[in-house]
Amino acid sequence: MTDTLPKAPLDTPFGPGIDRVEGPLKVTGTAPYANEHTARRIGSPTHPLVGFMVLSTIAKGRLVSLDTTAARTSPGVRLVLTRDNAPPQNDWGPLVARDRFARSQPALHDDRIRFFGQPVALVVADTLETARAAAQTISATYEPETPAVTLDEKTAIIPPTLNGFKPTRTSIGDFRNSYAASAAKLDVTYETPHQSHAQMEPHATTALWDANGEHVTLWTSNQILNSAQKGIASTLQLKPEQVRIVGLYVGGGFGGKLPWFDDALLAAIAARMLKCPVRVAMTRQQMFTATTHRTATRQRIRIGAARDGHLRAIAHDALSHCASFDNFVEDTTTITRGLYGADAITTSALLNKLDLPRSDSMRAPGDAVGMIALECGLDEIAHTLGMDPVALRLANDTQTDPTAKRPFSSRKLAECLRTGATRFNWSARNPTPGQHREGEWLIGTGMASAMRYNLVRPSQAEIILSQTGHLTVRMAMTDPGTGTITILARIASEATGIPPDRITVTIGDTDFPPAAGSGGSFGAESAGSALYNACETLRLRLARTATTENGPLANIPLSTLSFSNASLTNGTKTIPLTQLVPRDGLTTQGSIKPGNEAKDWSQASFGAHFAEVAVSAVTGETRVRRMTGVFACGRILNARTARSQAIGGMIWGISAALFEANPVDPRSGQFTARDLANYHVASHADAPHIDATFLPEDEPVSNPLHIKGIGEVGICGAPAAIGNAIFNATGIRIRNFPITPDKLL
């Protein structure tokens, strides 16, 4: 029989969770963000110069000329960068790429204007004020063309794939006949608007080249540093190893920092030309056009159900758009393929290429808006059938992914629905709309399911145990405020038995082993599993050292050993790890990549949302009074930060249901909101008491940590629960989100 070391434990009791390791640095303002790097911090003899971007004021056409005379001669201005003096860059692309954030994205590259608010110049000066004042003196002459900026089925194309790898159409069963034979039928169209990113920290980069102008370091705010490294290198015709990206503290991402943007590229170009560090930060207003946004969608949803609530047919056909020069598809119908066990399910996608800024991921891309159509549609069918919406969902629960035709690795949708209904006191609800009134307020309740597919991305980790017993974790991972640093410290501590105060997690640097980064709810499991595997290797090395012939635990079987309190023990003999580490320390690596478990199983996080709203019969204003969210996402690494992710998603659900929209002016092609006064996101006053919990769940296959993504499931379904509550309150079904007061009067 082989003697093997037991696997690292995964069941340390964790109570209410732990605070963020870097929390004190953040709340005291001592954690430096990308726009706060001083000369000393970046190791430069001179303070960074400051670049300010000039943006186009048309949406489509040709940039004929730029008058930069006044700017160039302004005191304190060091450089005015335009297409006339920008260095050669690779063309945009490739259009289809597995990693679309590693593509070449040139700026100031040609004379084409592709969207309103496209950077056309960068002014670099000694101070921000000087650069901004000089930027305002630049005038542009354009040959404008009429932009196409509205969704239109007639001009839409069928994209060959969804973002390079998923099928555009899926179909099981016989939709036409199943739908025709259904006792209850729904055929409606839901619309969702453009949504703008509004992370607390705008995009910013500080760039510094080495003395030879061969290697650049970019301190920036980004979710996937290794993709940014490849993309910027490709654009500037450099090798990836010539570009180092550093981004330890990231003030929010939510998909808006999955791509890198012109702040990084233009800072790098200007710093090279000036032989001096340069930083470029976007203003809040610039973020609304010079970054990405969530696409508007138009979704036709057809549902057919038998009288007992059995779903016979679902068809979900979604129209979305991307920039004229891109091919991003909002993957709106993904959840429809897997949430309910209907006899027939078809999904399809159409795409408009529009003269708008790039659309790309925002929190739960696809699902956050796709589940509005699906889950409000379910509510409509429940109402038609006279059936309770929770019961309808329970009746169509399935342990097999209906279109992928493979089992879910774990799926506690039913438990989430039942637990949520109990916690919310759902049974007290009057199913007839418009019956509950308190003065001017109409009160109603609604619910929706939550689902988000789970994925692991390739990641590597390196750990170093020093002779003094200190463990250092190194990986090019990011923490956009989600608590990643904290859970990585916890994983390392749990796996090695080294107390957290003797562990340093160093991430946010492409000089470290490449990591998945943060996005798509894959960060914790990808980076965490790589780290766990590095810890397993370390444990084995230490255990083997201890049990060699001359070792302190000679002749003791590996199978009896465990790690705790910075020691290795078999219960009777305990050896401090420091006795097992060579003088120059012990370094091990770990990695993870998707394996057969990703092919053999469907993996997803599930949940249920319940909301109570009050709608004013006088003003049409909707107030969300309370929300309950119950989620099942495998093992939870840190209850405290997990709850923060859940309530963040649910509050964003309020935002999406009631407020968030950025309409485009069809004449000029510009977004009408460019600041947080006009782009309304839910504030504290809009967020009621939120009851968010995670059910215990055994996830057998997802990854060595037995966890599933938790970042995005909180927003999935949340807007629909609120829309459904508004219907219960008022009897008015709004299918055009957000549900603003004008639509309810």
Annotated active-site positions, please?
712
CA distance 123 to 141: 18
Residue count (the chain): 745
User: Considering only 45-53, 109-117, 326-334, 355-363, which stretch makes contact with ligand MOS by CB under 6 A?
Assistant: 355-363
Nearer to ligand MOS by Cβ, of 519 and 629: the residue is 519
Cα Rg for the chain, rounded, in angstroms? 27
E-strand stretches of 228-310: 243-246, 278-281, 293-294, 297-305
Cα atoms in the 13 Å half-sphere on the side-chain side of 333: 28
Return d(Cα 607, Cα 646) in angstroms, integer.
Answer: 10
Choice between 138 and 362, CB closer to ligand MOS: 362
Is residue 117 within 8 A of residue 288, CB to CB? The reply is yes
Cis peptide leading into residue 552 (ω within 30°): no
- Quick check: 363 binds ligand MOS (CB under 6 A)? yes
Provide the minimum distance between the beta carbon of 209 and ligand MOS in the complex, in angstroms, as a whole number: 30
Give the type of residue at 267: A
User: Per-residue x/- marks for ligand MOS, 662-701, CB under 6 A?
Assistant: ----------------------------------------
For the bound state, the minimum distance from the C-beta of residue 722 to ligand MOS, rounded and expressed in Å, comes to: 20
Q: How far is the CB of 542 from ligand MOS (least distance, A)?
A: 36
Q: State the DSSP H helix or E strand holding residue 629, giving kind and residue range, or none if neither.
A: strand 622-632
Residues 6 or more apart whose Cβ sits within 8 Å of residue 118 = 55, 56, 289, 290, 357
> Which residue has the CB atom at the shortest distance from ligand MOS?
255
- Could you tell me how far CA 132 lies from the centroid of its own chain? 32
Closer of 601 and 652 to ligand MOS (Cβ) = 652
Smallest gap from Cβ 334 to ligand MOS, in A, equals: 13
By CB under 6 A, residue 519 contacts ligand MOS? yes
User: Shortest Cβ distance from residue 479 to ligand MOS (Å)?
Assistant: 13
φ/ψ of residue 565, rounded to 5: 50, 45
State yes or no: residue 709 binds ligand MOS (CB under 6 A): no
Establish if 258 lies at the interface with ligand MOS (CB under 6 A): yes
- Three-state SS annotation for 464-475: EECCCCCEEEEC
To the nearest whole angstrom, how small is the minimum distance from the Cβ of residue 326 to ligand MOS?
16
Given candidates 117, 247, 304, 365, which one binds ligand MOS under the rule CB under 6 A? 365
Cβ-based nearer residue to ligand MOS, 368 or 615: 368
Stretch that binds ligand MOS, among 72-80, 356-364, 460-468, 729-737 (CB under 6 A): 356-364
Least gap, CB of 648 to ligand MOS (angstroms): 10
For residue 158, the tally of other CB atoms under 10 A from its CB is 10
- Least CB distance to ligand MOS at residue 523 (A): 8
Q: Does 522 bind ligand MOS (CB under 6 A)?
A: no
Say if residues 714 and 607 touch (Cβ distance below 8 Å): yes
Residue 712 binds ligand MOS, judged by CB under 6 A: yes
622 binds ligand MOS (CB under 6 A): no
List b or e across 713-723, with b for residues whose CB sees 16 or more CB atoms inside 10 angstroms: bbbbbbbbbbb
φ/ψ (deg, to 5) at 90: -70, 155
Q: What are the start-end ranges of the E strands in 439-502?
A: 441-453, 459-465, 471-474
Min separation Cβ 296 and ligand MOS, Å: 17
Task: State yes or no: residue 361 binds ligand MOS (CB under 6 A).
Answer: yes
387, two tokens: 């059936």
309 binds ligand MOS (CB under 6 A): no
Question: Which residue carries 């429940």 as its tokens?
Answer: 382
Instruction: Check residue 338 and report its DSSP letter.
Output: T
Decide whether 254 or 512 has the Cβ nearer to ligand MOS: 254
Q: How far is the CB of 254 from ligand MOS (least distance, A)?
A: 4
Rule CB under 6 A: is residue 255 a binding residue for ligand MOS? yes
Nearer to ligand MOS, 209 or 631 (CB): 631
Strands, E, within 471-513: which ranges? 471-474, 503-506
Q: Could you tell me if 338 and 453 are in contact, meaning their C-beta atoms sit under 8 angstroms apart? A: yes
In the set 223, 297, 603, 702, which binds ligand MOS (CB under 6 A)? 223
- Of 159, 253, 357, 648, the one binding ligand MOS by CB under 6 A: 253
Q: Cis (ω within 30 of 0) for the bond into 94?
A: yes
Min dist CB 712 to ligand MOS, Å, is: 6
Token reading at 715:
């927003």
SS3 content of the chain, % helix, strand, coil (to 5): 30, 25, 45
Phi, psi of 513 (to 5 degrees): -55, 140
Q: Between residues 321 and 383, which has the closer beta carbon with respect to ligand MOS? A: 321
Pick 401 or 712: Cβ nearer ligand MOS = 712
Positions in 125-154 near ligand MOS (CB under 6 A)? none
Residue from 116, 175, 219, 254 touching ligand MOS (CB under 6 A): that is 254
Residue 520 is a binding residue for ligand MOS (CB under 6 A):
yes
Name the residue nearer to ligand MOS (CB basis): 519 or 704.
519
Residues whose CB is less than 8 angstroms from the CB of residue 439 and which lie 6 or more positions away in sequence, other chains included: none
- Cα–Cα distance for residue pair 228/218, rounded to 1 Å: 10
Nearer to ligand MOS, 89 or 292 (CB): 292
DSSP E strand stretches across 543-621: 562-564, 567-569, 574-576, 586-592, 604-616
Residue 163 touching ligand MOS (CB under 6 A):
no
Question: Could you tell me which stretch among 83-91, 251-259, 623-631, 672-680 binds ligand MOS (CB under 6 A)?
Answer: 251-259
Where does this chain touch ligand MOS (CB under 6 A) — which range of 248-256, 320-328, 580-588, 681-689? Answer: 248-256
Query: Measured from the CB atom, is 352 or 521 closer to ligand MOS?
Result: 521
Query: What are the residues binding ligand MOS (CB under 6 A)?
Result: 223, 253-255, 258, 361-363, 365, 519-520, 711-712
